[in-house]
Structure 1
């Protein structure tokens, strides 16, 4: 999360800025002014301005001294408190930064940046309860802060702070709270694709203005091989990277020329090296502006540009708005509407976007002939894990859900508690996501009459151990309205049956699509009562569970939905069809 409000400009209203001066000259000028004016009431501004210039020149230590001098003369100078705190944070002294910001006494309008920075920094430390309190305090002063509303709302989702609206924010209607909650949070808030589209549109209107011109020719190109560009910030050890690697490697090079437009941070992983090697042309664009990135894509005459971020972190939507390719599609990274007019298609399938919901989406849905999700079938299965090694009792019925906490809603958690009441020997096994969420989930279980020790939390681990863990469970319980995606296909790969609830939106039908591809649709429910009943059936009927496991045994998933070769041919057929 980027800083919500950063003060980094000199205080021109208090002391005339030294215009056009190089940093060294400006530093010398401010020092000279301070030496010549030992009694001026404007000295605090000069010290602050000196701190800004020193920081901009890279001398953080001297800048901190200057900010402290400014504060010694004017203790309520909130700009100096903000900037000094940011410098302390950059030095790795986060506790000192938090103490400085929380101890500042300011009028309400000056407290906003201090509270917002507290919230931002506490969120990076996964202190979601503290971050939520800071941002809520900021919104109680001024609710007209869309970015703060978005982060506050998502913090409550991540920390399982229910009710999710926190009892409301004075000055914001429930509809306004929903619209400002952000596109990622929207997928876990509602299964209404029309509302998801409204939320995404509101975010795009604030964040991604239209570009001044269209770069690609309307009529397209006529290349002998179709030039396909994949655009992403996640060509690394990221869920998208694990899914997409097999597709990139298997493209038919006699028909397709594959470009990778990459703004990924280097993680030096084997997966990243594999993905980069799979491109015919690897084009780093992380250092380029959005316009420059768009012009590079245009110069390469890409026929079809496939955006793999959508509305997730690292997206280059502003580059897409230049329309650098004649055909542009969004795929995989964000499973909801991405309503910018420069996108032509959203790659999906007929299960995740049924025909009666297609009109709610933008861009236009492009259903593949079969499962929408790419998978990599080249990795060998991990060595089996043991329940003993994972701290699980051998005689328990283990219900697993390794989804992120923000996907868990009060209704789904209540359904899980009903399942645990109906299966006295069952345990719920989850990921150790964050301390705030764990505390709140345990409290909610206690309130529902379930002993908190019936919920176990698995620590984060490497991908192979995570896959092996899935084999230790009996049933995977999905979340709603934001289903498991990569995690669901991993569960099926490891022979773990899934119980899911399918709604109206793409995000709420991902597991249903995966189960349909696996031929195991008895795990797909359409009401919460049916969802509970399906889980109870697996827990009470060993024959039903054995049949489901048998359907997934012997690598069945890799021969069906997880078949990367078959998926690549389906994707290529779709890309060929939409090329101009």
Structure 2
């Protein structure tokens, strides 16, 4: 019977194989091979409880049987019995190194459960036992990237490449890590190669589009065309399936608004969306939050409490998510991700809601015709400068963003240059935003202000080496640069005690870091550009009444930085008043932005009710 079962497996006839193995087990109950074969066949048939029964017998006969423990854990995992899968695989890797796949699947289980440290331990154990397995090195890169250790993830990805793994997923993820440490050209190269190898995978094209936003060498026209290509490839085939919506066309009723994001967690987006959710008028708006990331944390719990309905949806397909949104009768659906990680743009591309918008997470077009509006403001997207580069209409609010300062922040410190320290410029932005033109400008500042120094945050050893080489090429030595590693939030905020003036990056400005800086009393010198991404810094500083810290050109940015390095007393005066300015601004801003947003949503809904088939108009709202 065993031979017949094995032959049936060879023919991929698992039902017949299960029958033969079952008979073999009945004839010889202590036959390990019979129970292993039966468990395998049941697993292939999707008969998971029966597979578990057979495999439990198998591992009772041989508690160290690697294949038996691996398949038993796999059956538990597929039944969403994660704790049992974790125990089974934990035992498996403690007694055997085979099969190699146990390390991969165990790592993935832990990763998706938010147990990142344990996942790293498992995958490193697998690499120790199977150093030539390229997939293990790829998984290690993914774990390190998830921890924010992008510099460390790059060697892991490159080792996987050297071992022959050339999958587009690997190339795309390597591109993401390269972008995070500021290697934009290589990032674009890897992302483009991934798209070329797998042109039908939307995630890879989204990663490429995100990387273009960081590059000063890709024109606005080229970026826009690339976003439209995303629509042509992935949205166009879905349009034939768009259906009419059955929502109640009552202009005055309570509206159902859905926010979709993978960043309802310990992520910078939370600083901006929580004040809005807290300020919504619940008598007029019912708030649904669709959470697309698999792991929840304390921030997720806060946001869950701020929503009327919380929908974890990381396991739903785009079709399933779109069906869920449609069944929830959402009137206005708002994307908060754009082409960043864990976006669900292809659910939007199925048009599950009558009106769809994008906001906050991606300061550029999505390229989708299914998204009707991008929410912005005049200071970010001046009238006449941005419309040609958007597939969406621009819904301009008086102010399109608010901010919630970190609780228990350190107090504002004194002016370092007045306390005996060298005048210190600082940039704690994501290193991915430090483009070559930024380094050239900073080098000129340091050259002309020879008593000054520059602090750079989030600095890994690899970033330090790369930046030092670039500064050296401009004649700036190592002694002029202070590198700070990535640290916890409170320690990161405390770094501002050592900074006299923050220097913004361009063309991709800081966002959260700009608000953190002014909250800690450190003004930010920013260059105003020609896109929303390059207007954030100037918009914040002007909103605080600090126009002097805005430059219209890079030359002016350099000149102002040099001048400010000799005006520590004036900067100290700004420092002592800046937190109060931010408090006044943020105390009113959440209310004002939410009110303006709700007016905009209500107006869009009224226009839709008047004629859903009529093109929606350009909107500009007066201040509240």
Which residue of structure 1 lines up, in the alignment, with residue 356 of structure 2? 328
Is 1:17 aligned with 2:12? Answer: yes
Which residue of structure 2 lines up, in the alignment, with residue 406 of structure 1? 432
Secondary structure of the corresponding residue to residue 189 of structure 1: coil
| Residue 343 (structure 1) shift | 1.0
TM-score of the superposed pair, with normalisation by structure 1: 0.77
Matches of 1:387 and 1:417 in 2, distance apart?
23
Secondary structure of the corresponding residue to residue 505 of structure 2: coil
Matches of 2:243 and 2:506 in 1, distance apart?
40
Q: Could you tell me whether the CA contact under 8 Å between 2:123 and 2:139 is conserved in 1?
A: no
Deviates more, 1:191-200 or 1:348-357: 191-200
Question: Pick from 168, 172, 193: which aligns with 2:220?
Answer: 193
| Residue 347 (structure 1) shift | 0.6
Matches of 1:174 and 1:272 in 2, distance apart?
32
| Residue 93 (structure 1) shift | 3.0
| Residue 326 (structure 1) shift | 0.5
Question: Pick from 282, 286, 311: which aligns with 1:253?
Answer: 282
Matches of 2:559 and 2:195 in 1, distance apart?
33
Is 1:558 aligned with 2:579? Answer: no
- Over 3 Å counting, the alpha-carbon distance change for 1:31 and 1:321 in structure 2 is farther
Matches of 2:361 and 2:141 in 1, distance apart?
27
Greater relative contact order (CA < 8 Å, ≥ 6 in sequence) = 1
Deviates more, 1:88-97 or 1:279-288: 88-97
TM-score of the superposed pair, with normalisation by structure 2: 0.72
Which residue of structure 1 lines up, in the alignment, with residue 390 of structure 2? 361
Question: Pick from 296, 303, 316: which aligns with 2:324?
Answer: 296
Secondary structure of the corresponding residue to residue 400 of structure 1: strand
| Residue 456 (structure 1) shift | 2.5
User: Which structure shows the bigger proportion of residues in helix conformation?
Assistant: 2
Which residue of structure 2 lines up, in the alignment, with residue 576 of structure 1? 602
Matches of 2:346 and 2:554 in 1, distance apart?
40
Deviates more, 1:212-221 or 1:535-544: 212-221
Matches of 1:114 and 1:282 in 2, distance apart?
35
Matches of 2:543 and 2:181 in 1, distance apart?
33
Matches of 1:377 and 1:167 in 2, distance apart?
34
Matches of 2:338 and 2:415 in 1, distance apart?
38
Matches of 1:168 and 1:465 in 2, distance apart?
35
Unaligned runs of 5+ in 2: 1-5, 26-30, 38-64, 76-84, 111-118, 609-624
Q: Could you tell me whether the CA contact under 8 Å between 2:268 and 2:512 is conserved in 1?
A: yes
Q: Could you tell me whether the CA contact under 8 Å between 1:303 and 1:326 is conserved in 2?
A: yes
Which residue of structure 2 lines up, in the alignment, with residue 134 of structure 1? 159
Which residue of structure 2 lines up, in the alignment, with residue 151 of structure 1? 173
Question: Pick from 504, 507, 517: which aligns with 2:533?
Answer: 507
Q: Could you tell me whether the CA contact under 8 Å between 1:310 and 1:338 is conserved in 2?
A: yes
Matches of 2:365 and 2:478 in 1, distance apart?
38
- Over 3 Å counting, the alpha-carbon distance change for 1:283 and 1:336 in structure 2 is same
Which residue of structure 2 lines up, in the alignment, with residue 74 of structure 1? none
Matches of 1:435 and 1:34 in 2, distance apart?
49
- Over 3 Å counting, the alpha-carbon distance change for 1:361 and 1:51 in structure 2 is farther
Which residue of structure 1 lines up, in the alignment, with residue 422 of structure 2? 396
Correspondences of 1:272-311 after superposition (within 5 Å): 272-311=300-339
Which residue of structure 2 lines up, in the alignment, with residue 221 of structure 1? 249
